[in-house]
């Protein structure tokens, strides 16, 4: 497996759908995502300034991706914490799961965030998605708020005397599955 930085030509939609359909129910498709503004902003306009991501390629095929996007308080993502804290999205396509791809992607993206340097990363993980939750917890993400049936999790990256707590917004309810 090879990891590479994502570019504007990479298509996030298959990965967003894999994350949203983590229960393998196939309830979400590209048309329903594009039709819902609260979901479309996860893929629309990729790659905007401040966006970053890593893609895993196995034998020439995209296997998984991890990326972050910045959202503003007036158009927050489900894992929104603050305007200057990007929200992480991640998914591994079904044939490549349980092979260490997710951990490699997450480690690479966290390393990139530390190099930027970002003060934190956030994400949303739905109740019942214990595989993803455990992966995030092992990397230091901790729950910081609830949104509907999901925990918003935060990884604080700043260290030392000058670090300060990341302010967490009060989350709005939703029922959208997230990975």
| Run of H or E including 34 | helix 30-35
**pLDDT tens digit sequence for 33-81:** 888 888 888 888 889 999 999 999 999 999 999 999 999 999 898 899 9
* CA-angle at 125, arms to 8 and 89, nearest 5°: 5
Q: Is the pLDDT of residue 103 over 60?
A: yes
Q: What is the pTM of this model?
A: 0.83
Residue 119, SS3?
A: coil
Q: Is the pLDDT of residue 97 over 70?
A: yes
**pLDDT tens digit sequence for 120-169:** 999 999 999 999 999 999 999 999 999 888 999 999 997 544 444 444 44
Per-residue tokens: 35:
């039709």
**pLDDT tens digit sequence for 30-41:** 888 888 888 888
Give dist(CA 34, CA 40) in Å, integer. 5
- Residue-level pLDDT at 8: 94
Q: Which domains does the chain have, with CATH numbers?
A: 2-156 (3.40.630.30)
């Amino acid at each position: 497996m090879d990891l590479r930085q994502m570019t504007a030509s990479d298509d996030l939609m298959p990965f967003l759908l894999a994350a949203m359909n983590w229960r393998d129910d196939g309830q979400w498709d590209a048309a329903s995502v594009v039709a819902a503004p609260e979901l479309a902003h996860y893929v629309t306009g990729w790659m905007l300034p401040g966006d970053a991501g890593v893609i895993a390629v196995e034998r020439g095929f995209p296997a998984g991706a991890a990326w972050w996007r910045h959202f503003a308080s007036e158009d927050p993502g489900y894992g929104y914490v603050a305007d200057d804290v990007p929200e992480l999205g991640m998914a591994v396509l079904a044939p490549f799961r349980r092979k260490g791809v997710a951990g490699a992607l997450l480690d690479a993206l966290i390393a990139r965030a530390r190099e930027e340097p970002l003060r934190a990363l956030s994400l949303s993980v739905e109740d019942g998605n214990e595989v993803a939750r455990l992966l995030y917890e092992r990397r230091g993400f901790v729950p910081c708020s609830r949104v509907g049936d999901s925990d918003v999790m935060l990884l604080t990256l700043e260290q030392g005397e000058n670090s300060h707590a990341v302010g967490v917004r009060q989350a709005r309810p939703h029922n959208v599955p997230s990975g």
